[in-house]
Amino acid sequence: MTSDVVARHTLLDEPAAVSLLIYLYDAGTVVGDDLKNVVSNYTRMKSLAQAFEQKGMISIKREKRPMIVFSFSLTEKGRKVAEHLIAAADLVDPQ
């Protein structure tokens, strides 16, 4: 039997996307180097963060300290999504 249903692909399907949102939810504002805890590949981390920024879920700020540093934090929309993801994870794997 064939189905006419097509699977939806979203940004959340990307590797480490859910982990990145939950990490930012737990950590608050972090610098780019901190994101290596979640996404070890710099190119992947950068493209994922930029995609979330375009969707209005992450704020990326460029700061000039002695050298240029990028800081990342969740927007209100990103916080809401992360809260739902955490709730879903708790249903799947209660702690």
Cα 26 from Cα 72, distance rounded (Å): 12
Structure confidence by residue, pLDDT tens digits, 6-62: 888 899 999 999 999 999 999 999 998 899 889 988 889 989 999 999 999 999 999
Single out the residue of 8, 1, 28, 39 nearest to residue 82, CA to CA.
28
User: How much is the pLDDT for 83?
Assistant: 98
Q: How confident is the model at residue 66 (pLDDT cuts 50, 70, 90)?
A: confident
Q: How confident is the model at residue 3 (pLDDT cuts 50, 70, 90)?
A: confident
Looking up tokens 């969740």 gives 74
Query: Domains of the chain, with CATH numbers?
Result: 11-88 (1.10.10.10)
